[in-house]
Structure 1
Amino acid sequence: MKRTFAILLGLFTAGQLYADPGDSTEVAHEDSLEEWSFEDDPFALKLDSLANSVLFSIEDFSGLDTLTTTEDIPLVADSIIAERMAYLDSQTPFDLVYNEEVRRYIDLYANRRREQVSRMLGLAEYYFPMFEETLDQYDMPLEMKYLAIVESALNPQARSRVGAKGLWQFMYATGRMQGLHVSSYVDERSDPLKSTKAACDYLTKLYDIFGDWNLALAAYNSGPGNVNKAIRRSGGQKDYWAIRPWLPRETAGYVPAFIAVNYVMNFAPEHGLYATPSMLSYYQTDTIRVKHKLHFDQISTFTGLDREAIEILNPSYKLGIIPEVAGQSFYLVLPIEQMGVFINNEDSIYALAAQQFEREEVKEPEMQEMDERMVHRVRSGESLGLIGQKYGVSVRQIQNWNGLRGTTIRVGQRLVVYPRRLPQSTTTTTTTATSSNGSVRYTVRSGDTLYDIARKYPGVSADNIMNWNNIRSASSIRPGQTLVIHPQ
């Protein structure tokens, strides 16, 4: 199992078109965790093993064991490629034309990026079944799965130079519009299933607008406004190739790249391209809703699965912690074998994890949501850099949110900001108030735990807060609730 996921880790780290892995913080892990060893129920484990052997085997999904070297690249006649492309075009509502632009991208993928394509063929064995299930739910062409290769090279941690993130490369604002939330713990743009559903929903909306899948692709890349402008400038043409001269430069290559990927992924063996052996198939994993806060190190120790494997299967958790937030649900993906161990020992795992968090054996940041839109009015002396520091965001993000090409701003100008944190003056004035008897009234914020709140006040414990406020369960507090605290 460890070797299998080590191979997969190599696929992610080396198989990116462009990527800047998301933040990952290593957390202190006490040696005392090593003493815990959990086992699965023997009968349930036998059933899983029987299902694996009867329904599928790992060999069905692992690709070929050997890779063709670059010296053995088959020479494929242009007429044969055109004939194959015509066959693909007859099978799909996409307009899969073959021309000089598409030929250039086929050469890029089939000849100059062979090693990367082999890795993506391996990753496709895990991601494509997931994509196809979702595409079928939305009644969309299954060929749309190839768009994730163009966007991210099937790397859920891929980040573009302008801040787009995930398999489907959502910008922050577009992702939020599609229901993908970002906090200090979680970036749902990197969640394979949630981001795929968001991409399908968005692409369906674009198709409803333009009535053509190629135009929907162009709009996904550059925005519907740019496609609409190109249609006007072309004299009302509604064909991608007719409006292509008026599209942004990147979008002009976007659809040809998508068509080329369709071809290469379908005829990879004919070009001597084979999948790099990959991890488990999509069907050999399972998902469970997590009831209480867990750290990846804890999950690794309790199940025996490498932390790297947990990170790969759960890429949306930025800091290696699955949080516990009132009103929100968080999920864990594991191989079936380790999932059996987790379920069989679930109560014990949560209890031990809670003890470690309480003893501060595992450090954790404060939960901060990033889905609140704010409008900042520029004051004298402020720059984009200072404003970014104030809200915990980058200059580039502020520029993208407000359509700014440069860094020049003027006093009184209003800027849209999606903050990672609120300015200090705001949080201190809105969350606490001191009464005449020295007690403090604290307003619970999203992501707060009693342990987090107690740490803000010297000499105060979580048990103290529970006693002062007649709270029976530490998990029962909710955002907006007012707590009375008596600092020592």
Structure 2
Amino acid sequence: MNVKNTTLSLFLLLSVHLFSQEVVENKNFVKVEPKLSYLDSIKKTFVKDEMASCVDSLWMKELTNLDLYNNITDDIKNINIDEKVDYELPTELLKERLAAMDAKSPFNIEYNQGLENIIKSFLKNRKRSFERLMAISEYYFPLFEEALAKQNVPLEIKYLAVVESALNPKAVSKMGATGLWQFMYQTGKQYGLKIDSYVDERSDPLKASEAATQYMTNMYKIFGDWDLVLASYNSGPGNVSKAIRRSGGQQNYWNIRKNLPKETQGYVPAFLATMYIYEYHKEHGIIPNRATVKHFATDTIMIKKQMSFKQISDLLDVPVAQLQLLNPSYKLNVVPVYHDENHFLRLPQDKVAVFTSNEAKIYAYTQHELDFREKPFQVTKAIVVRDTTNYTTQRITLPKTKYYKVKRGDNLSEIANKYDVAVSDIKKWNKLKSNAVPYGKSLKIITEQSIVRTIKKEPKVEAVPSETVSESQRVVASEVKINKEEELASNPERKDIEYVVQKGDNLGNIAHKFGTTLADLKQWNNLSDHNIALGATLIVAKDEIVITTDKATADSFKKKANLATGIEYYVKKGDSLFSIAKKYPGVTISDIKKWNDIRGGNIKPGMKLKING
């Protein structure tokens, strides 16, 4: 019986397979692929490593968050180490632990009431901060230890970066000290760190760590005591020398502390307290958060053509925030290329594999982007294009101000990516001093809005040639050609077009730019003569039909369009979902599939499709 059932099942399986093959062979249609963008066509050919990305967005937020830096620096500056703190930690037990630390460290870790007070203060008020810092230190400490070990500097100095910057490479003090090790401009230059418009190596974890190690080595040759080396790192060797002289030649930090600057008086105790908490975090119930990525999970690649973080993000599917974290020395989110110097991009190892496997295609894409980039002084250049209908179009780029209300969990990097602008610009527009933004605040966002002005053509008018117009603008202009019916169906809006007078403008060249006359310009703007002021706003076209190509407005229009005319379309030979969707403004392939319950992308001639718009 079992043999019969098995034989029957096998026969049915083969029959279904043969029948399905026959059905496929008899289908009379040609599958038409939707047209891909240049970026998508490049990425489609990439040889991909299937290794999962090792950094998630929450970890990026943690590593780039500045609140830890602000809190710790405020603590060190304002803490009174002579004020007793109520926290359950027996003094005798603390003495015993400090003695154990002192036995294996070149620092003078001796018990005193001030050190006990600051340790208890950190344990009482900063437990959560240290849980987060211990996760971030898993990323940075191996890098610090390697730099320190090369020059035989005590490895405990790695804790100094926690005190200096809360392990944030983008930390900047009120005095301008920058990076993990908080180098001032001149000191950074003195120790060989490159600082220019594109690059600030004070924020480079590797190079700044090497410079800090060299500084420590030089100071130890002068003072011969690691506590005094730390004090000199904070206040400068000159202030330490003065404190020694004012203390009658004493050279123990705790003996000269009261003659040091106020901030330095709490600096070394904060360092020793940090070291204690790292050593005894388990005993105090501090459970470190776990790092999602270790430094050894990344690698570098030399860049041969200038690339922006946005281009790299688009090509490799790496968040811009992650690129900023891994490459903090690039100030403008651009990896530059100089003739006399190499620059390197740090990426997760799996992304390095994708980059190296597709290097030629990646550089071809960046060159393509460069070729199509708008050239200087062409922002408001109007381009007249010959059309097959009785209308022609002009594309005009104008600034547009929007406001974004900060939601819970937002950060500046995500908001900047949403609107394709720079974090530094958002901070400038909103006068923000740090990357922290309060929940509920409305942020001003300035973007460029392209509008397409439709005007009626005179008979036998040819395209207006212009050698100053870039090839990219001609391509863009040709892409926005529309006929009257499409225009009225998509966005039948009439309004005046305004233009802000630029340096070197006069009424004549403005009239020529916008295809109007001097008389009209004077009439529309109530001008009695040809004089115009720099920065003045002029009406350059009255009551024109305008189609906005601003992305946010276009998306909003598509959402609001309640298309319910119930058109029936019969598929013709050669049709595809892509070509049919193009016939109806605001309709996408997904819409057609949804309205007609189409699972795949296949349609046949004669099929009736419902179009809801």
Instruction: Place the TM-score, normalised by the shorter chain, in its bin.
Output: 0.5 to 0.7
- Secondary structure of the 2:124 match is helix
Residues 1:217 and 2:219 aligned together: no
Partner of 2:69: 17
Q: Cα distance, 1:3 vs. partner? A: 6.5
Aligned residue for 2:68, secondary structure, equals coil
Of the three residues 127, 130, 139, the one matched with 1:117 is 130
Of 343, 351, 370, 1:357 maps to 370
Contact 2:66 2:171 in 1 (8 A): no
How far apart in 1 are the matches of 2:303 and 2:87? 49
In structure 1, distance between residues paired with 2:126 and 2:231: 24
* Residues 15, 155 of structure 1: 8 Å contact kept: no
Q: CA deviation at 1:459?
A: 5.2
CA–CA separation in structure 2 for the residues paired with 1:358 and 1:91: 61
1:97 and 1:259 in contact (8 A); partners too? no
d(CA) in 2 for partners of 1:355 and 1:213? 55
- Quote the Cα distance in structure 2 between the aligned partners of 1:173 and 1:11: 27
**Matching residue's letter, 1:251:** T
CA contact (8 A) 2:303 2:345 kept: yes
Whole-Å separation in 2 of the counterparts to 1:74 and 1:220: 31
1: distance between equivalents of 2:275 and 2:247? 27
Closer, same or farther in 2 for the Cα pair 1:228/1:362, shift >3 Å? farther
- In 2, the alpha carbon distance for the partners of 1:343 and 1:222 equals 45
Q: Which residue, out of 303, 328, 335, partners 2:341?
A: 328
Asked if 1:78 corresponds to 2:130, the answer is no
Give the aligned partner of residue 186 of structure 2: 173
Paired residue type of 1:106 = I
Alpha-carbon RMSD across the aligned residues, in angstroms, is 2.3
Distance change in 2, residues 1:75/1:242 (3 Å): closer
Contact map agreement 1:15 1:116 (CA 8 A) in 2: no
TM normalised by structure 1 equals 0.61
Alignment partner of 1:310 is 2:323: yes
Cα distance in structure 2, aligned partners of 1:74 and 1:331: 48
Aligned to 1:267: 280
Local SS of the residue matching 2:162:
helix
Q: Which structure 2 residues correspond to residues 72-471 of structure 1 after superposition, within 5 A?
A: 75-360=88-373
State the 1:291 CA deviation: 1.9
What is the CA deviation profile of residues 280-323 of structure 1, one whole-angstrom value per residue up to 9, with x for unaligned ones? 11111112222221111111122121111111111111111000
* DSSP 3-state at the match of 1:185: coil
The residue type equivalent to 1:245 in the other structure is: K
One-letter amino acid of the structure 1 residue matched with residue 61 of structure 2: L
Structure 1 residue 258, shift from structure 2 partner: 0.7
* 8 Å contact from structure 2 (residues 298, 348) kept in 1: yes
Residues 369-414 of structure 1: CA deviation (Å, up to 9, x unaligned): xxxxxxxxxxxxxxxxxxxxxxxxxxxxxxxxxxxxxxxxxxxxxx
Which secondary structure does the structure 1 equivalent of 2:301 belong to? strand
Q: CA deviation at 1:347?
A: 2.0
- Contact 1:88 1:96 survives alignment (8 Å): yes
Residue correspondence of structure 1 range 25-104 to structure 2 within 5 A: 75-104=88-117
Q: Counterparts of 1:185 and 1:144 in 2: how far apart (Å)?
A: 30
Q: 2-side partners of 1:219 and 1:174: how far apart?
A: 13
Aligned-pair distance for 1:107? 2.0
Give the unaligned 5+ runs of structure 2: 1-52, 72-85, 377-466, 471-613
| 8 A Cα contact 1:2 1:305, kept in partner | no
- CA separation of 1:340 and 1:88: change in aligned 2, threshold 3 A: same
C-alpha separation in 2, matches of 1:3 and 1:218: 37
SS class of match (2:250): coil
Cα distance in 1, alignment partners of residues 255 and 244 from structure 2 = 9
Which amino acid in the other structure matches residue 230 of structure 1?
A
The structure that has the greater radius of gyration is 2
Q: Is the 8 A contact 2:164 2:180 kept in 1?
A: yes
Q: Residues 54 and 292 of structure 2 are in contact (CA less than 8 Å); yes or no, is this contact kept in structure 1?
A: no
- Structure 1 window deviating more from structure 2 (288-297 vs 244-253): it is 288-297
Match of 1:4 among 56, 59, 64: 56
In 2, Cα distance between equivalents of 1:189 and 1:14: 17
Give the C-alpha shift of residue 77 in structure 1.
2.2
* 3-state SS of 2:70 partner: coil
CA distance in 2, matches of 1:116, 1:171: 26
Q: Which has the higher contact order (CA 8 A, sep 6+)?
A: 1
Distance 1:76 1:220, change over 3 A: same
Report the AA paired with residue 249 of structure 2: G
How far apart, CA to CA, are the structure 2 residues paired with 1:362 and 1:245?
A: 61
- Counterpart of 2:58, as a letter, is A
Aligned residues: 315
C-alpha deviation, 1:4, in angstroms? 2.5
Counterpart position of 2:533: none
d(CA) in 2 for partners of 1:246, 1:167: 27
SS class of match (1:18): helix
* Preserved contact between residue 290 and residue 331 of structure 1 (Cα < 8 Å): yes
Cα pair 1:8 1:279 within 8 Å, conserved: no
Structure 2 CA distance for aligned equivalents of residues 8 and 294 of structure 1: 21
Alignment partner of 1:298: what SS?
Answer: helix
Structure 2 CA distance for aligned equivalents of residues 235 and 253 of structure 1: 21
Work out whether residues 185 and 323 of structure 1, in 8 Å CA contact, stay in contact via their aligned partners in 2. yes
Unaligned runs of 5+ in 1: 20-72, 364-457, 462-488
Q: Secondary structure at the match of 2:293?
A: coil
TM-score normalised per structure 2: 0.49
The alpha carbon displacement at 1:15 in A equals 4.5
Amino acid at match of 1:116: S
